[in-house]
Amino acid sequence: MSEESSSPRYKSGREARSEGRPRAASPVAERPSPHDLDVERAVLSAMLRDPAYCGSKAVELLSAPGSFYSQVHREIFAAYMRLYNASASGIDVLALSAELQKAGKLESCGGLPALAELENAIASTYNFDRWCTMLRDYATLRNMINVCSDAIRKCYDGEKDAADLVNEIENDIYKVRGDSDGTSIVPFKESVLAAFEHINKIINKEEEPGIMTGFPDLDNMTGGLKRGEMFVVAARPSIGKTALALNIIRNIVMKNQPKTTVLFSLEMTHEQISTRLICTEADLSERAFRDGNFRNQKDMMRLTSAVSNLKNAPLFIDPTGGLTIAELRAKARRMKIQHNIDLIVIDYLQLMQGSGNEESRQREVSEISSGIKSLAKELKIPVMVLAQLNREVEKGTASTLPKLSHLRESGSIEQDADVVVFLHRDRDQAKNLPPGQSVEAKLIVEKNRNGETGYVNLEFYPSRMEFVNVRYTTDDRPSAEKEQKS
């Protein structure tokens, strides 16, 4: 660049406006997409020479013609796929030639002589798996370039809301990542050895079966919150499911080796959640701040101590209301990449929204439920979901226990969930209860895909919104050491 072109000068209105426009071409657009034609030829040659192994492996690893850069190679692979789907045996140059002829593509692919030359392009199929990996990597890079180019175009078009567009682009990028993971089929030999190693670590106390909730009776029954599982906690309104979830979160993020957790709260603000956690940790009631009973020195010490204990907890809060399943998926994936989160908590499922294409609310909830289960498997972490029960459970007496059929709006929740736990208590018992007094509560493990079902007895302290395992006193709560009461 010359001095004249680099020095500042007055720009006309037309020049100034044109600076904000995208250029007609970019250095990226002028460059060929990542590829290696020699490797593509080697893969196709190996598939023709050894259909039994190389053909099957290529169909599994590459799966689509888009794995090839050359249009000719795409046509050949597509024809090979059609033959393979019809019959995995008997694929050779003549059969492939006939298939291409049938599709009207033989001439454009060079005819029978070109196919015969292709079959003899390599001397050995020894490095076939590596060649397939190289093709898949090149295809991933091309897909990423296409996604980024399309994202730029969408940003300039401005046809969608900015937040929706960002979520859509994130989903497209993560799909590229997922597509590059290769085959999901695992040989049983590898699986059983990995399972044995995991069991051995649990036996030797080197690893927990899952993330412990801090409620020993519940953990003994379910093994904690396990990777890839959807853990549902359901109750009627005002029974305390949010309080229970926050108690579990507090137990998880406050232990010696805390687990990074993200809470998607569709009902409460982040300030309300933080206030609730602080009060539980400080053994104080929120009411004390409002009615003038806040004892300045002692209570303030508890308050500041609670804040000090909690401030470095690895907890993230997303208070977005009306969260869609697509937004949840995009945000969770981003948090997994950026912060390697160990647990997702959603409060609560029925406040979420689907894609908007469903004919009924029941189908929408089904889409949300299956989306959450898929997310847990994809990220390989547990997802704890709060859910509401329908009014049928209240038509009985106060002692009537909830059942799976009481899950509100969709039966798919009980199908998708690995564990379903009902929180139950008599709501009237907590009315006008003196501070420090507790009421009985019960956790009902109604479904446990990988374990037993049963009951867990709890005590609920409404003044500080805390549930405690009955065999443990308040002094044994899994929190920082509390000040002796006067």
Q: What is the CATH classification number for the domain harbouring 95?
A: 1.10.860.10
Domain that holds residue 413: 206-476
Residue 384 has what pLDDT? 92
Q: Which residues pair with 318 in a beta bridge?
A: 264
Per-residue model confidence as pLDDT tens digits over 188-202: 777 787 778 877 877
Are residues 213 and 329 part of one domain? Answer: yes
Establish if 5 belongs to a structural domain: no
Q: Which residues contact 32 (CB under 8 A, 6 or more apart)?
A: none
Q: What is the CATH number of the domain that holds 233?
A: 3.40.50.300
Are residues 248 and 172 part of one domain? Answer: no
Residue 14 has what pLDDT? 41
Are residues 466 and 364 part of one domain? Answer: yes
Which residue among 150, 183, 216 closes a domain? 183
Are residues 441 and 335 part of one domain? Answer: yes
Residue 447 has what pLDDT? 86
Establish if 201 belongs to a structural domain: no
Establish if 3 belongs to a structural domain: no
Are residues 179 and 296 part of one domain? Answer: no
Residue 16 has what pLDDT? 38
Per-residue model confidence as pLDDT tens digits over 283-342: 777 776 666 666 667 777 878 888 888 888 888 988 888 788 878 887 888 888 888 899
Are residues 166 and 216 part of one domain? Answer: no
* Banded pLDDT at 393 (limits 50, 70, 90): low
Establish if 15 belongs to a structural domain: no
Whether the Cβ atoms of residue 336 and residue 177 lie closer than 8 Å to each other: no
Q: Which residues contact 301 (CB under 8 A, 6 or more apart)?
A: 483
Establish if 17 belongs to a structural domain: no
Whether the Cβ atoms of residue 100 and residue 76 lie closer than 8 Å to each other: yes
- DSSP characters over 400-467: PPP-GGGBSS-THHHHH-SEEEEEE--GGGGTTPPTT--EEEEEEEEEETTS--EEEEEEEETTTTEE
Per-residue model confidence as pLDDT tens digits over 79-126: 888 887 776 567 888 888 888 888 888 888 888 888 888 888 888 888
Average pLDDT over residues 410-426: 83
Are residues 135 and 217 part of one domain? Answer: no
pLDDT at residue 9 is higher than 80: no
Q: Which residues pair with 439 in a beta bridge?
A: 460
Q: How many residues does the chain have?
A: 486
Distance of CA 465 to the CA centre of its chain: 29
CA–CA distance, 214 with 224 (Å, rounded to integer): 9
**Which active-site residues does the annotation give?**
267
Angle at 237 between CA 288 and CA 428, to 5 degrees: 65
Establish if 484 belongs to a structural domain: no
Are residues 134 and 101 part of one domain? Answer: yes
What is the SS3 assignment for 346?
strand
CA–CA distance, 425 with 243 (Å, rounded to integer): 13
* Banded pLDDT at 404 (limits 50, 70, 90): confident
Establish if 4 belongs to a structural domain: no
Per-residue model confidence as pLDDT tens digits over 230-270: 999 988 888 888 889 999 998 898 887 888 999 998 888 88
Residue 207 has what pLDDT? 73
Establish if 192 belongs to a structural domain: no
Q: Is the model more confident about 432 or about 22?
A: 432
Closest C-alpha among 354, 336, 355, 353 to residue 344: 336
Are residues 110 and 221 part of one domain? Answer: no
| Count of structural domains within the chain | 2
DSSP code of residue 468: E
Per-residue model confidence as pLDDT tens digits over 29-75: 567 788 888 888 898 888 888 887 888 778 777 767 878 888 889 88
Residue 345 has what pLDDT? 93
Are residues 171 and 227 part of one domain? Answer: no
Per-residue model confidence as pLDDT tens digits over 132-163: 888 888 888 888 888 888 888 888 887 777 77
Are residues 399 and 314 part of one domain? Answer: yes
Residue 395 has what pLDDT? 64
pTM summary value: 0.64
pLDDT at residue 435 is higher than 50: yes
Lowest mean pLDDT among 57-71, 401-415, 457-471: 401-415
Are residues 221 and 169 part of one domain? Answer: no
